[in-house]
Amino acid sequence: MRSVREEVTVTIRPPLLALMALACACARHGAPPPKTMGAAPAEIRFAVLGDSQFNFPGVFERMVHEVNLLRPDFVIQVGDMIQGYQNDTERLRAEWRRFFRQIAPLTMPFYPVPGNHDVITPESLQVYGEVWGTHRYHYSFDWGPAHFIALDSFPDLQTDTIGLKQTVWLLGDLTRYAAAHGGLGSEELKRRSIFVFLHSPMWAYDPVSQKDAVQEWERIHRVLCRFPVRMVFAGHTHNYSWRERDGITYIVLNSSGFMNELDSRPTGQFHEFIHVSVRGRDIRCAVIEDGSVLPIDTVSEKERHLAAPYLLADRTIRIPDPNLAAISAGVSLEISNSRPHGRTFALDWEIPHGSRFEITPRGQSVTVAAESSATVTFQIEAPRHVPGADLPVCHVSSTLRTRTGAVPRDWERHYRHGQWLAGRDPAAPVTAIALDADVPFTAAWTLFIPPTARAARRGGEIAIDGDLSDAAWREAMPITEFTTAEGVPPETGLEVRFLWDSEGLWFCAQMEEPNPAGLRHSAGGDVPLVWGDDDFELFIDAGLTQRRFHRLFENCVGTRFSSRPIGPPDSRFRAEYESATVIGDDHWSIEGMIPWPQMGAEQPPAPGDQWGLNIWQHRQQSRQTLTQWSPMRNFPYEANRFGVLFFE
* pLDDT level of residue 158 (50, 70, 90 thresholds): very high
**Quick one: 541 exposed, middle or buried, by C-beta within 10 A (0-12, 13-18, 19+)?**
buried
72 assigned to some structural domain: yes
Q: Tell me the average pLDDT across 7-24.
A: 36
7 assigned to some structural domain: no
Of the candidates 461, 496, 435, the one whose C-alpha atom is nearest the C-alpha of residue 627 is 496
Residues 6+ apart with CB under 8 A from 147: 140, 141, 177, 192, 193, 194, 195
Rounded CA separation 563/553 (Å): 9
Q: Are residues 245 and 157 in the same domain?
A: yes
Higher pLDDT, 182 or 569: 182
CA distances from 134 to 15, 34, 170, 403 (A): 27, 14, 17, 42
| Residue 441, beta-bridge partner list | 398
For residue 313, the domain's CATH number is 2.60.40
Rounded CA separation 128/126 (Å): 5
Q: Tell me the average pLDDT across 136-149.
A: 95
pLDDT of residue 261: 74
Residue 634, pLDDT > 80, answer no
Rounded CA separation 378/367 (Å): 17
Higher pLDDT, 288 or 525: 288
* Structural contact between residues 42 and 13, judged by C-beta atoms closer than 8 angstroms: no
pLDDT of residue 7: 34
Edge-to-edge strand list for the sheet holding 272-279: 10-11, 109-112, 74-77, 44-49, 272-279, 282-289
pLDDT of residue 421: 63
pLDDT of residue 536: 97
Q: Are residues 379 and 525 in the same domain?
A: no
| Residue 288, beta-bridge partner list | 273
Amino acid at 440: P
Model confidence pLDDT, tens digit, residues 393-428: 999 999 999 999 999 999 999 999 877 665 566 666
Rounded CA separation 271/338 (Å): 38
Q: Are residues 516 and 568 in the same domain?
A: yes
Rounded CA separation 580/582 (Å): 7
* pLDDT level of residue 486 (50, 70, 90 thresholds): confident
417 assigned to some structural domain: no
Of the candidates 565, 325, 604, 428, the one whose C-alpha atom is nearest the C-alpha of residue 14 is 428
Residue 466, pLDDT > 60, answer yes
pLDDT of residue 10: 38
Q: Are residues 222 and 81 in the same domain?
A: yes
Q: Tell me the average pLDDT across 21-35.
A: 37
Q: Are residues 202 and 319 in the same domain?
A: no
Distance of CA 209 to the CA centre of its chain: 40
**For residues 434-448, b (16+ Cβ closer than 10 Å) or e, as one string?**
ebeeeeebebebbbb
Least confident of 1-5, 149-153, 193-197, 295-299: 1-5
Q: Which domain holds residue 560?
A: 452-647
Write the DSSP assignment of 520-559 as a string of letters. -----SSS--GGGSSEEEEEEETT--SS--EEEEEETT--
| Listed residues 241, 256, 289: the one ending a domain | 289
Residue 19, pLDDT > 60, answer no
* pLDDT level of residue 387 (50, 70, 90 thresholds): confident
Q: Mean pLDDT for the chain?
A: 90
pTM of the model: 0.81
Ramachandran category for residue 62: left, alpha or beta (phi over 0 → left; psi -120 to 50 → alpha): alpha
| Listed residues 222, 257, 289: the one ending a domain | 289
Model confidence pLDDT, tens digit, residues 52-78: 999 999 999 999 999 999 999 999 999
Of the candidates 627, 631, 600, the one whose C-alpha atom is nearest the C-alpha of residue 616 is 627
pLDDT of residue 429: 66
DSSP assignment letter at 417: H
pLDDT of residue 475: 95
Exposure on the CB side of residue 399, measured as CA atoms within 13 A:
10
Work out the number of other CB atoms within 10 angstroms of the CB of residue 485: 14
Amino acid at 520: R
1 assigned to some structural domain: no
Residue 569, pLDDT > 60, answer no
Residue 79, pLDDT > 50, answer yes
Amino acid at 77: Q
Rounded CA separation 173/577 (Å): 84
pLDDT of residue 425: 62
Q: Are residues 481 and 440 in the same domain?
A: no
For residue 80, the domain's CATH number is 3.60.21.10
Write the DSSP assignment of 253-317 as a string of letters. --SS---SSSSBGGGTBS-EEEEEEEETTEEEEEEEETT----TTSS-HHHHHHHGGG----EEE
Q: Tell me the average pLDDT across 12-17.
A: 34
Rounded CA separation 217/223 (Å): 10
Q: Are residues 523 and 559 in the same domain?
A: yes
**SS3 state of residue 358:** strand
Q: Are residues 270 and 354 in the same domain?
A: no
Residues 6+ apart with CB under 8 A from 371: 337, 338, 339, 340
Q: Are residues 238 and 312 in the same domain?
A: no
* Structural contact between residues 7 and 148, judged by C-beta atoms closer than 8 angstroms: no
Residues 6+ apart with CB under 8 A from 208: none
106 assigned to some structural domain: yes
Residue 32, pLDDT > 80, answer no
pLDDT of residue 423: 59
Q: Are residues 315 and 393 in the same domain?
A: yes
* pLDDT level of residue 8 (50, 70, 90 thresholds): very low
pLDDT of residue 18: 35
Of the candidates 570, 566, 576, 536, the one whose C-alpha atom is nearest the C-alpha of residue 553 is 536
Q: Are residues 398 and 483 in the same domain?
A: no
Highest mean pLDDT: which of 422-436, 587-601, 628-642? 587-601
634 assigned to some structural domain: yes
Q: Tell me the average pLDDT across 126-152.
A: 95
pLDDT of residue 36: 37
Distance of CA 503 to the CA centre of its chain: 49
419 assigned to some structural domain: no
| Listed residues 289, 313, 340: the one ending a domain | 289
Rounded CA separation 255/234 (Å): 11
Domain count, the chain: 3
DSSP assignment letter at 58: H
Q: Are residues 244 and 309 in the same domain?
A: no
For residue 486, the domain's CATH number is 2.60.40.1190
Higher pLDDT, 568 or 347: 347
480 assigned to some structural domain: yes
Residues 6+ apart with CB under 8 A from 169: 3, 138
* pLDDT level of residue 548 (50, 70, 90 thresholds): confident
Rounded CA separation 284/489 (Å): 45
